[in-house]
Amino acid sequence: MPNIGVLAIQGDFLEHKQVLEQLDVKVPEIRLPGELDGIDGLIIPGGESTTIVQLIDIYGFRPVLADKVKSGMPVWGTCAGMIAIANNLTDKRPEPLHLMDIEVSRNAFGRQADSFEEDLDVEDIEGPPFHAVFIRAPVVNSMGEGVKTLAKLRDGRPVAVRQGAMLATSFHPELTTDYRIHDLFKRIVENSA
Ligand code: GLN
């Protein structure tokens, strides 16, 4: 059974945990850097990226996460988690973790479209379009050559990307009953074990 941790310092980590448990994954809640040692992959959930990154630094996660990712640990960031793992942000805050070769804009949809839903064709998963829930969501502005777009909005902006064993999604698959992206991440973790 794979062991996929959820970073449990702020945000909707419990929803990710509930989905992964349905998929027969063991899901430790990670609150201290030393707890990263026992896991095969990590999810950084949605929430408030400035708070999440602030707590990451207070608890000393930053250098440990960088090491783990360098040695191949799969990481998936959803929404605020995508912001946290980016290389660059168009905003001044927070200072991202520089783990994935993407530049991200926070709150890219402004007030009018604070939250919305859209059906997306997602590469690397089978079946019908994925019903994606966006909440004060970021988008990917640009990405390096090693990053592949898995899904984009009708206007062409990327909202799901993959770089090797790393995933980032602007939307919240953990808030739906469609487990296909969690299952994709589980397979990434199994294949990199
Ligand atoms: N807008 C939030 C941020 O900038 C992210 C929102 C979310 O995770 N749903 O951190």
| Cα distance between residue 13 and residue 7, in whole Å | 7
Cα–Cα distances in Å, from 51 out to 84, 127, 143? 10, 36, 25
Tell me the CA–centroid distance for residue 49 and ligand 1, in Å. 6
Mean pLDDT within 91-95: 96
Provide the pLDDT for residue 114.
86
Tell how strand 139-143 and strand 100-105 pair up.
antiparallel
Q: Which atom of ligand 1 lies at the shortest distance from residue 45's CA?
A: 8
For the chain, what percent of residues have pLDDT higher than 90? 96
Q: Rounded to two decimals, what is the model's pTM?
A: 0.97
d(CA 38, CA 59): 17
pLDDT greater than 70 at residue 112: no
pLDDT tens-digit map of 56-86: 999 999 999 999 999 999 999 999 999 999 9
Which residues sit with their C-beta closer than 6 Å to ligand 1? 46-49, 79-80, 83, 106-107, 135-136
Positions annotated as catalytic residues are 79, 172, 174
